[in-house]
Structure 1
Amino acid sequence: MKMYLISDNVDTYTGMRLAGVDGVVVHEHDELYTALQNVLQDKTVGIVLLTEKLEREFPDIIDEFRLERKMPLLVAIPDRHGTGRKKDFITSYITEAIGLKL
């Protein structure tokens, strides 16, 4: 299975291309929707990497994609601007998931 990147900036796209991950750069709502539909046509793609900025800007598309599909897996990654997550997001995620404070 392959990975595919949908990015909002050329720097992230270039870095992932150097690592062997194909992808596309999008900026608009319709471009993101079209890119996700194109990825669904390629059955060899198992993981779609998406920059956190796109996830924040277009939650309607992302939520629809995640709710309606099991594959490919959609993973939000930080880009050159850093992450939008708080510093202890992993600890709080575990606490919320299992109800145990670490």
Structure 2
Amino acid sequence: MKFFLISDNIDTQMGLRLAGIEGVVVHERHEMLETLEKVMHDDEVAIVLLTTKLIELCPDVISEIKLKQKKPLIVEIPDRHGDSKIGEKIDRYVSEAIGVKL
């Protein structure tokens, strides 16, 4: 099983490539959705890493995939430009999933 990165900047891609994780750089919503669709049908990919900025392009689609798809696991990673509040996003995601505010 492999990781795959979909990033909005080359620095993140190069850093993860050094760790052996392949990926692509995209900037538009349609590019990201096309790439994600291809990766989701690749049986070797178990975990897809997405930068925060790309998740913000289509949070509704990403949330739907996370809730309904068993594989691949989609993980948000902050990039060097981000002022991400991952903890708050996780709280919101769990609250939506189980219907209870944390």
Distance 2:44 2:83 in 1: 28
Larger Rg: 1
Unaligned runs of 5+ in 2: 96-102
| 2:28 is the alignment partner of 1:28 | yes
- Who is 1:41 aligned against? 41
TM-score (norm 2): 0.79
Moved over 4 A (4+): none
TM-score (norm 1): 0.79
Distance 2:57 2:30 in 1: 12
CA shift for structure 1 position 76: 0.1
SS at match of 1:56: helix
- Who is 1:67 aligned against? 67
CA shift for structure 1 position 83: 4.2
Distance 2:17 2:81 in 1: 18
SS at match of 2:49: strand
Aligned length: 94
- Who is 2:2 aligned against? 2
- Who is 1:77 aligned against? 77
Contact 1:52 1:83 (C-alpha < 8 Å) held by counterparts: no
Percent of aligned positions with the same letter in both sequences? 51
Alignment RMSD? 2.5
